Every structure is written in structure tokens, then in C-alpha cells.
Chain A
Amino acid sequence: MFEIGLTHYLVVATLLFVMGIFVMITKRNAIGILIGVEMVLNGANINLVAFNRYNGMGNIDGQIVSLFVIVLAAAEAALAVAICMNFYKNLNTVDVDHGDTLAG
């Protein structure tokens, strides 16, 4: 058995970040892009908590920040879904490629 250390958490966080970025770039669906955003945010959260646990210098700043990030992500998701609904009402799709009225 091996000991779980900082590196393992960082690897998971980096994987989440890379997957999130990949999802943001490849998805055409607005909700899909938002899922990518959430993955990156959670990668950041894992980073923050892990760094705090192993490298915290006696304070809990990292964990507090991660709580703030969760709240921010929730607020952003609520608004984002509302905007997606508004987009759907107007265009009958949430495919971002169909938003091509404004260009140039």
C-alpha cells in the first residue's frame, strides 16, 4: 500500500482542470460548456484544500477560499442556467453555434 500525499490530490485536480478545458473547447452545447467550467472550478477547489492540508502554514485560508468558490460557482450556475433558458426561448436551442446573429 502507498501513502496518499499532496501529489495525488494535485494529479486529480490537474486532470479535472485539463478535462474541464477540453470540455469547454469541444462542446457546442452551452450547458456542456458550463459543466466544463464547473470541472475547472472543482479542480481549483481540490488544489486549495490539498495545499492547505499539506502546505498550510497553520492557517485555514485555503479551505475558506474553497467555500467561497463553491458559493461563487452556485451563483454563477444559477444565473447561467437562467440565461440559457432565455436563449432557448428565443432560438429554440442552446447550441452556441446558432448564436451567429452578432458577428463581424
Chain B
Amino acid sequence: MTELIAEIPAWFPKASEFLTFSPELAWVATLCLIMLAPLAIGRDARITAGLAIVGIAVTAFFTFKVMGIVSAEGPQTGLTPDRTGGMLIADNLSLFFKLFLLTFLVGVSILWMSVSANQEDDAPEFFVLMVGSALGMSLMVSTQNILMMIIAIEFASLPSYAIVGFNKQKRIAAEASLKYMIFGSVSAAVMLYGASLIYGFFGTLDVAQIALNAGPVLEAGGANRLLVGLGMFCLFVGIAFKISAVPFHFWCPDAFQGAKTEVTAWLSVASKAAGLLLLMRLAHVFCMYAGAEVLHGVAIVIAIFATITCTVGNLSAYKQTSTKRMLAYSSIAHAGYMMAAAAILVDANKVESFSAISAVLAYVVVYMLMNLGAFGVVALLESKNGGDDSITAFAGLGWKTPVLAIPMLFCLVSLVGIPPFAGFITKWYLLAALGETGVGLYWALAIVIVINTLISLWYYMRVIVQMFLRESDKPATDVPMSGALLVNVCGVLLIVLLIFSNPLKNRSDKYSAGLFAASPTALAGEGAKDSLAQSSPQAGGTESLENNHGG
């Protein structure tokens, strides 16, 4: 036996490393189980959904376990013993995002069961694609290696293309998935070409190591700077596609309108959040090693993209007649708000960049509730009226079916970002993070966000007006119990989270603080960068806050 163990080569991961990445392993096991179960026990939507939920619960259990390890021993990296950065990272941010995705998956599964389960015998395929894309998105947030990042983006994208075209007989679904697939593969190809240029210059794909060497290249100027800049821009195009930042957003409204509504709810939050957190992690690592002043130009680029994205998203949402398409443009606008916070990251000192990540985490959580609620109502409504998702389909809903209209009202008002809903407080955190930098650029971004909030009020209002001020002779909608419960829980949670916004803020502070940073000594042997390894300036403050809360 001992001989056998001695035979294990040095590169083979240790058992502790496997434990660190047990959530991923459980996730993959769930995937295989859902795929193979129909062969053994027949195709049944309920059994498949049950298996998926059990797999999600097991994954969540392991995630909590790893969270314990991380809070005791600090961020973990692994599965690549000779690399300092690590292909996979288990830190607070990645674990938070795993829990976020798992919760959201449960929500979307409930919605799917109350809307589509009866008409379909494709349940195994649906869940394989959903759980698979979720795994890809969680990997996107758990890496700082460009190769792993590209694989993760593809891993998240490929199932998404298929799931958008899930209704094979529907013409718009086929069209939506074709458009999504073409935009996606073009941006993936461009991103890979950028990665090859970056690799050529730095001889590595680890972002921390690239950042250590990038400063001199970027400052020297000339052709090298141009080529490295081109490579980075190509990478940014790939991420911007996932975030659906304007002008890489053309797929977004089409794919969201053509897909089934529960799929739209999933993509509108999960894929954008994954892209944003990936962007923020890369920007964070990069400015930690390269120095923020190198990236001033990048901050301006991201700020411009954020401004254009939220403005175009809000202005295009006006003229829409389909609720799904309107909410798709609204999701573009929200991605723009969150990108504004990503611009802080590359240009400010550490405390401010952590409050930016924290604001985005809180925003993402509340945004998930708002979108799940709003798309849930649309899905429930259109499942009862023959697939009509136009805004006029909401006429009279407020008086006939308040069980749908009230949560829709909550979610829409919260999407605007006005009290008394949690969308207000998270938007306030975002503005506060922008404001406390004290830099003119970010103040300008904050003003842009406020103006955009005012613009967005009017198109959300159109639905509310239809629901409560327009008459309709349609009968009341008969809503399935589970779906009604889901959307109402979302609506109520929006109020609860406003009242208990402190725990939300504390948690997002905590999860953003313990961000992984490869030890710079291992990277370059520079003692001067050692202090950066203690990556959580807010950790002390967060702990005391939590103690207060506990006491």
C-alpha cells in the first residue's frame, strides 16, 4: 500500500485539494446523474427535478463545508502545484457565487415545474443544460487564469445557446438561439485570439503574473503597448459579451425574447452576474500587481462602456411592446449600473475597490429576486393565456389576479430603485461606493446612474398602469400554487431585505473582503509586494460589525 502511495506523481492533487473543490465535483456528479437517470428509471419530470434539487442540496452542503475551511485557513487554491495563481480558486467571492447560483437554480426549477413541467418530456435535457451552464458560471468566478476563464465562459455559453432554442418547434426560439450562438462564438474566437497575443508577450496566462510584467510594457509605449492593449481589448470583448455591454448586446433582447421565460430569468441574472464578477476579479488582481495608475485608461474605457450601456438599455426599453423584451433591455441597463462599480476597481486604492465589490454583491442578490419575481409573473401569465407576453396582456391584472399583480408591482418598483424596496438600498450602496472615491469620473458615473433611474421609471410604469388603471374583460388567471408562492416570496423578500439591510451589507462586505491573491513572493520574490498578500483591509472592520450584530 505504501508503495502505491509512493508511486503517486507529484503533480497529482492531494486529498485536501479534492476537498477544497468538492462543490465542483458534487456539481459534476449531479450533472451525470441527471443525464443517466432517465436510462435507469424512465423519463419523468418530477423525478428529474427531484434529483436536481437533491444534487443542488449536496453541492450547497459541500460549499458550506469549504466556506468553513476558507474562513479558518484563508483562501485556497489548488489542482496546479507548480503554478502560483492556481487554475481554481476557493475564496469567499467564488463560494458566495456558488451559493447564489444554487439558490437561483432552485428558484428557476420551481418556476419551471409550475409553468412547463406538464407540457414537456424533455425534463432531463432541460436540467442538464441548466445545471451545466450554472457550473460554467461558477467556474468563471473561481479563476484568475485566462485559459480557465475562457473554458469557463464556453462552458457557461454552450448550454445557454442550446437552452435558448429549447422550444424546437418555435420559429423565434430557433432564431434566438442562432443569433446567440453566432454572437457568442464570434466573441469567443476574438477572445481566444487576444489570449494568444497576451500569452506571446508574457509567456503565461496567469493574470497575476501578467500584471507583474505588464507595467513596464504598457508604460514603454510603442508597438508592444499597442499589441498588448489589443490583446486585452479582445479579452474584454469576450467578457463584455457575457455582460451584454453595449455595443456587444445585440444578442441579448433577441435571445431573451425567444427563450422560454424561466430560461430568460436565469440568463438575465446568472450569466451577467458571472461576467461582472469575473471582470471585477480580473481587474482587482490586475490593479493589485500592476498598480492602479497603469490602468487609468482602462477605468475610463469601462466607465464609458457603463454609461453607454445603461443609457442605451433604458432608452431602448421605451418602445418595446413585449414585456420580456422590455425586461431584457432593463437587464442591459442594470448591467450598466453594475459595470460602473467595476470601473472603480481598476482605479482606486483597496478599501474603495472592496466597497465596490461589496455593493455589486448586494446588488446582484437583490437583482436576482427582482428578476425572478418579474419574469416569474410573466411566465405564469403567459402559460395561461397562450404565450402572449405583450404589455397589454397585463391589463386589469391588478383587480382580477392580485396574487400576480402585487409581486409584479413590488418587483418593478424595486427595479426602478425607489423605496420601500430593496432595489433602492442596493442602488444606494452602488452610488455610495462611487461617491466615496471622491474622483470626478465616478461622480459623473453616479450622476449618470441617477438620471438613468429617472428615465427607467417611465417604462416600468407602463406595466403598472396596465395592471391597475386599464380595464379588461378577460377572466381572472388561474395560477398554480407553487408559482404563486415563488413570486410572492420574491416580492416579500424585497421589503424584508430593505428593513434588514444591515445583515445584507455585512455579508456582502465579508464575502468581498477575503478575495484570493496569489502570494506575490512566490510570483516574483519581491518583498515589497508582501504587504499586498494580506488582501482584506476591511476584514477587521467586518468582524467587529458582525460581533456587534451578534451581540
- Residue numbers of A with Cβ under 8 A of B are 13, 17, 20, 24, 30, 33-34, 36-37, 40-41, 43-45, 47-48, 50-52, 55-57, 59, 61-62, 65, 68-69, 72, 75-76, 79-80, 82-84, 86-87, 89-91, 96, 99, 101-104
Report if B178 contacts A (CB, 8 A): yes
Decide yes or no: A65 and B190 within 8 Å by CB, A76-B154, A83-B181, A99-B179 being known contacts: no
The answer for the CA separation of A99 and B182 in the assembled complex, in Å, is 12
- Residue numbers of B with Cβ under 8 A of A are 147, 150-151, 154, 158, 161-162, 165, 168-172, 174-179, 181-182, 185-186, 188-190, 192-193, 195-197, 199-200, 203-205, 253-254, 257-258, 319-320, 325
| 3 residue pairs, one from A and one from B, having the closest CB atoms | A47-B196, A51-B200, A40-B189
- Nearest neighbor of B159 in chain A, beta-carbon distance: A79
**Contact between chains at B181 and A41 (CB < 8 Å):** no
> Could you jot down 15 A-B contacts, CB within 8 Å?
A37-B186, A44-B189, A51-B200, A57-B204, A61-B204, A65-B147, A68-B150, A79-B162, A83-B178, A83-B181, A84-B178, A87-B178, A101-B171, A102-B172, A104-B325
**Contact between chains at B205 and A65 (CB < 8 Å):** yes
**Contact between chains at B203 and A96 (CB < 8 Å):** no
The answer for the CA separation of A87 and B147 in the assembled complex, in Å, is 31
**Contact between chains at B168 and A102 (CB < 8 Å):** no
**Contact between chains at A83 and B193 (CB < 8 Å):** no
**Contact between chains at B154 and A40 (CB < 8 Å):** no
**Contact between chains at A68 and B178 (CB < 8 Å):** no
Question: With a CB–CB cut-off of 8 A, which chain A residues contact B195?
Answer: 44, 65
Q: How far is the CB of A79 from chain B (nearest CB, A)?
A: 5
The answer for the CA separation of A76 and B188 in the assembled complex, in Å, is 10
**Contact between chains at B182 and A86 (CB < 8 Å):** no
Question: With a CB–CB cut-off of 8 A, which chain B residues contact A41?
Answer: 189, 192-193
Cross-chain contact of A40 among B150, B179, B190, B200 (Cβ < 8 A): B190
**Contact between chains at B161 and A79 (CB < 8 Å):** yes
Cross-chain contact of B175 among A34, A44, A101 (Cβ < 8 A): A101
Question: With a CB–CB cut-off of 8 A, which chain A residues contact B178?
Answer: 30, 83-84, 86-87, 96, 99
**Contact between chains at B257 and A86 (CB < 8 Å):** no
**Contact between chains at B182 and A96 (CB < 8 Å):** yes
Question: With a CB–CB cut-off of 8 A, which chain B residues contact A17?
Answer: 193
Cross-chain contact of A30 among B182, B189, B325 (Cβ < 8 A): B182
The answer for the CA separation of A65 and B197 in the assembled complex, in Å, is 13
Cross-chain contact of B258 among A44, A72, A80, A102 (Cβ < 8 A): A102
Decide yes or no: A79 and B203 within 8 Å by CB, A43-B193, A44-B196 being known contacts: no
**Contact between chains at B181 and A86 (CB < 8 Å):** no
**Contact between chains at A55 and B181 (CB < 8 Å):** no
**Contact between chains at A51 and B196 (CB < 8 Å):** yes
- Nearest neighbor of B182 in chain A, beta-carbon distance: A33
Question: With a CB–CB cut-off of 8 A, which chain B residues contact A79?
Answer: 158, 161-162, 181
Question: With a CB–CB cut-off of 8 A, which chain A residues contact B185?
Answer: 34, 37, 76, 80
Which of A41, A56, A84, A102 counts the most chain B CB atoms within 10 A?
Answer: A102
Decide yes or no: A102 and B161 within 8 Å by CB, A48-B196, A61-B205 being known contacts: no
Q: How far is the CB of A72 from chain B (nearest CB, A)?
A: 5
Q: How far is the CB of A96 from chain B (nearest CB, A)?
A: 7
- Nearest neighbor of A84 in chain B, beta-carbon distance: B178
**Contact between chains at A90 and B205 (CB < 8 Å):** no
Question: With a CB–CB cut-off of 8 A, which chain A residues contact B257?
Answer: 102
- Nearest neighbor of B181 in chain A, beta-carbon distance: A83
